[in-house]
Structure formats: structure tokens, C-alpha cells
Amino acid sequence: MQHAPALLLDNSGAVQATMHPDTARPAQAWWPVTITREMIEADIERLVSLPRPANGRRQTMFVHPSADPRYPALNPGVRVTMEVLLPGEETTPLRHNSTQVNFCIRGSGLTVVGGKQIPFQQYDVWNHPSYLPYRHVNNSQDLHVRLTYSNAPVLEMLRVHLIDENPPLSGEVALVHAAKDNERRGASSYGTFPIDEDGALLMPYETLISPPAVESQALHWPWAKVQANLDKLVALGKDYVGRRLYLMYNPMTGRSNGTTPSFFATMTIRPPNIIDRPHRHVSSAINYYFRGRGYSVVEGERYEWRAGDLMVSAPGWAVHNHASYDESVYELTVQDQPYHIMQESLLWQESLKEEAAILGSSVGFATNRKSA
């Protein structure tokens, strides 16, 4: 087979960057889009009317108009799908090397991930580690609807999204006991050693192909427990300048502050008539509003939203802020912040009056929580 040769492209006098942080307007390419409650409800009815697929997965993929059709996504690094299960139905087992955040928007059910059972209710959140077999079961008498957020588009772009349909369930728990495997194998006897006083090291191949494993578990954040703590943030009052939210934190992500290694999922409460200050960040945000109504201002344009809407609310590096109207708002936000922290690319500007910072490798920002 004949293959085209590589190109040699002269880049003399140019720089690597395609946008300067002070003048970039990436929202022009990936602008805010909203999948309204009416659109979602109509598509739920469409999915319900379909015959059951062989794998049990009645799914809709939400795709941004700017997405490459080869890697469909709602923002460049996040795929969002909606899945419907009728009472008594379940999906066939599946595993893949992408990770997921799942969010139940209607009904209830049961997910089995790596042999672990997660019974869930409306507005519960749970994660799926990489390459663990999983299946979803609607063991209720009502319709179940779930949103799934996946890093599959990035892996597909790299041509390495690996999917195993109907895998043997005998391997369900094989990846769960990483800590015990570390103890059994022990550290490499060849050692990693410094070559200067600044911290540069050399690592042998034996350690390279067997790094210390971090246990990756499927975790569950029940809405009832999250809400009980979230509602307490209302007491911060109108003078508070931060966001009233909690990250559903997975400790295996460490300093990258993730729910999965690629994403964080946060729950936010916005009391009535709260207006956030404008800010921006390289990470892109997708919001699902499940109570209340309000608006977002993104790159100077105003976008209205209400309960039941799913919205790309903050394209990467777009100046934005959000506001509630005369009732409290609850929302789930998914951002690819952990992915950027580990790449050392998370430029964040908490206030437009402050300099931007690379979060995770430089000093970040503070709120006025003590005074509020």
C-alpha cells in the first residue's frame, strides 16, 4: 500500500500559538448552544417509541454544529448522550478505555460497574472508571432517562478509543484492586535517580511499564446528600463573590480536582437574583439546569435558560457570567478542567481585573468567603 509522505512546512518567524490570550475569541468557533427542555422531552418520546435495540441502548447524541463529524461532541472534548430505559429493561455489558460521568434526570435504576452495584435516583451522579464492564438496569416501574458525559472524542481523535462489546463479566473486578497489586509486585529494584541538583531524574524501563497503580473506583454522589450540603451555601449571602457549588470529588484524581481524570462535575445553587462576576477559563463548561431559570452572558451576548435545558454555557476562554431570576437555580456543570490541569494548560482568569494564572502549577485565586 502506498502512503503519502510527511510534509515539511516552513514556520520561520512564526510562533506556535494561534491565539493571543488578550485578543482570542474562540467562542466564535464553538459558540454557546442550548438543547431546550422541549427538544429533550420530544426526543425522549421518540426513543421510547423505538423497538428495543439488540444492546438495549436507546440513545441520542447531542452534537455541536462546529463538531467534526468524525468525532461528534457537544464541546471539543466532551460527548454528551441521553439514554432511555423502559421499566424492566437493561443494557448489555460494555467496556471501553474512555471514562464517564452519569447523571439521572428522570426516574431511577441500577448501574453495575466492575461488579459494584450503584442504585440511583433522580439527580444522582456517579462515575465510570476506564475499561471496567458495566450495564444499566431499570428495575423500577417508571421510565428512566440518563445523561452521560464521556471523553471519547479526544480518544477518537487520537485513534485510540477501544470498545469491547459484551465483555466477559469474569473480569469485572480485575482492575479494582490496584493498591494490592502494588504491594504484591513491589517497587522496581533498579530505581529512579537524579542527574543534577534541579530535580531532573532518569527512570528505568522497568518502572516505566509498571508505574504505581492508583485504585480507580466507581463512586456515587446521591442527590439527597449533595443537596443537604449545597443548600447551606445560601447563607454566604449576596456579598459572596465566588460560585456556590461543590465538586463531586474523586480522590484518585489527586491535585487535578476531578470527578474523572478528564472532567469535574459540580453541583451549583444560585439563590434568587444572583449575578456572577465575569470570568473565563480554557476549560469548556456544559450546564444542565434542573430547577429555576436565568441567563448567561457569553462574549457580550445574552442567552436565556430554564429548568430542563442543557447548554454549552462557556466555550473555552470565552468571557462569561451567569445570573438567576426570582427563584433558586440548581445546575450540574461538567468541565474538562482536570484534563487541562494535567496538561499544564488551564489558564484561568477568576476576575477580569486580575491577571490570568495557570491553575495547578501557579498560585490560584481566593474568594471573600470569610468576610461573607
What are the phi and psi torsion angles at 298 (to 5°)? -125, 120
What backbone torsions phi and psi does residue 139 show, to the nearest 5 degrees?
A: -95, 20
Question: What pLDDT was estimated at residue 209?
Answer: 84
Q: Which helix or strand (DSSP H or E) is residue 110 part of?
A: strand 109-113
- CA 334-133-57 angle, 5° bins: 70
Q: Which amino acid is at 157?
A: M
Per-residue pLDDT at 293: 97
**Grid cell locating 236:** 454566604
CA angle 219, 224, 225 (to 5 degrees): 60
The answer to whether 299 touches 320, Cβ cutoff 8 Å, is: yes
pLDDT digits over 289-345, tens only?
A: 999 999 999 999 999 999 999 999 999 999 999 999 999 999 999 999 999 999 999
Helix H segments across 271-362?
Answer: 337-343
3-state secondary structure of 176: coil
pLDDT of 118 over the 80 cut: yes
Q: For 362, which DSSP code?
A: B
In b/e form, how buried is each residue of 125-137, taking b as 16+ CB within 10 angstroms?
bbbbbbbbbbbbb
Q: Looking at residue 37, what is its pLDDT?
A: 97
Residue 275 φ then ψ, to 5°: -120, 120
pLDDT of amino acid 369: 85
What φ, ψ does residue 337 adopt, rounded to 5°?
-60, -45
Strand boundaries in 232-317, DSSP class E:
245-247, 264-270, 280-281, 285-291, 293-298, 301-306, 310-314
Mean pLDDT taken over the chain:
90
Task: Give pTM, 2 decimals.
Answer: 0.91
C-alpha cell at 226: 449533595
For residue 94, the surrounding DSSP H or E stretch is strand 94-96
Domain 27-162+219-358: homologous superfamily in CATH: Jelly Rolls (2.60.120.10)
Cell of 68: 467534526
pLDDT surpasses 50 at 150: yes
Report the DSSP beta bridge partners of residue 92.
Answer: none
* Each residue's pLDDT tens digit, 161-206: 999 998 887 555 544 455 555 555 555 577 888 899 999 999 888 8
CB atoms within 10 A of CB 13: 5
Is the distance from CB of 36 to CB of 308 less than 8 angstroms?
yes
